[in-house]
Amino acid sequence: MSLIETHELRRVYDLDSGRVVALDHASLSVEKGDFVAVMGPSGSGKSTFMNLIGCLDKPTSGHYRLAGTAVESLDANGLARLRNREIGFVFQQFNLLPRIDALGNVELPMVYAGVDKKTRRERALHALGRVGLAERAHHRPMQLSGGQQQRVAIARALVNSPSLLLADEPTGALDSRTAIEILALFQELNREGVTIVLVTHDADVGRHARRLIRFKDGKILEDHRQTPLDARELLVAETAA
Partner 1 sequence: MRFVEAIRSALSAIAANALRSLLTMLGIVIGVAAVIAMVAIGSGARNLVDQQIRSLGANLAIVTPGNVTQGGARLGAGASSTLTDEDADAIRREIDGVTAAAPFVQGTVQVIAGGNNWGTRIYAIDLDWFAAREWDVATGRTFDPEEVRRGDIVVILGQTVAKNLFGEEDPIDQVVRVRNVPFRVIGVMAAKGQSAFGQDQDDVIFVPLDAGRRRVIGRNYAKDRSVGSIFVKFANEEDIEPGIENMTTLLRQRHRVIGDQEDDFSIRNLTEIANTASASANTLSMLLAAVAAVSLLVGGIGIMNIMLVSVTERTREIGLRLAVGARPRDILSQFLIEATTLSTIGGALGVALGAGAAYLVARIAGWPSLVSPNAVIIAVGFSALVGIFFGFYPAQRAAKLDPIEALRRE
Residues that bind partner 1 (CB under 8 A): 51, 54, 56-57, 76-77, 80-81, 83-85, 89, 91, 93, 95, 97, 99-100, 108-109, 111-113, 117, 156, 160
Is the Cβ of residue 29 or residue 119 nearer to partner 1 in the bound state?
119
Distance separating alpha carbons of residues 172 and 153, to the nearest angstrom: 14
CB of 180 to partner 1, least distance (A): 26
Is the Cβ of residue 109 or residue 170 nearer to partner 1 in the bound state?
109
CB of 166 to partner 1, least distance (A): 9
Q: CA angle, 89 as apex, 88 and 95 as ends, to 5°?
A: 135
Is the Cβ of residue 81 or residue 201 nearer to partner 1 in the bound state?
81
CB of 95 to partner 1, least distance (A): 4
Is the Cβ of residue 24 or residue 86 nearer to partner 1 in the bound state?
86
- Quote the DSSP letter at residue 227: P
Tell me phi and psi for residue 15, to 5 degrees.
Answer: -105, 170
Distance separating alpha carbons of residues 190 and 199, to the nearest angstrom: 15
Is the Cβ of residue 96 or residue 133 nearer to partner 1 in the bound state?
96
Distance separating alpha carbons of residues 81 and 88, to the nearest angstrom: 12
CB of 108 to partner 1, least distance (A): 6
- Contact partners, residue 65, CB within 8 Å, separation at least 6: 4, 5, 6, 71
CB of 1 to partner 1, least distance (A): 23
Is the Cβ of residue 22 or residue 28 nearer to partner 1 in the bound state?
22
164 sits in the region (left: phi over 0; alpha: psi -120 to 50; else beta) called beta
Is the Cβ of residue 96 or residue 209 nearer to partner 1 in the bound state?
96
The full DSSP string for 103-172 is HHHHHHHHHHHT--HHHHHHHHHHHHHHTT-GGGTT--GGGS-HHHHHHHHHHHHHTT--SEEEEESTTT
Of 220, 221, 222, nearest in space to 27 by CA: 220
CB of 90 to partner 1, least distance (A): 10
Distance separating alpha carbons of residues 69 and 147, to the nearest angstrom: 34
CB of 84 to partner 1, least distance (A): 2
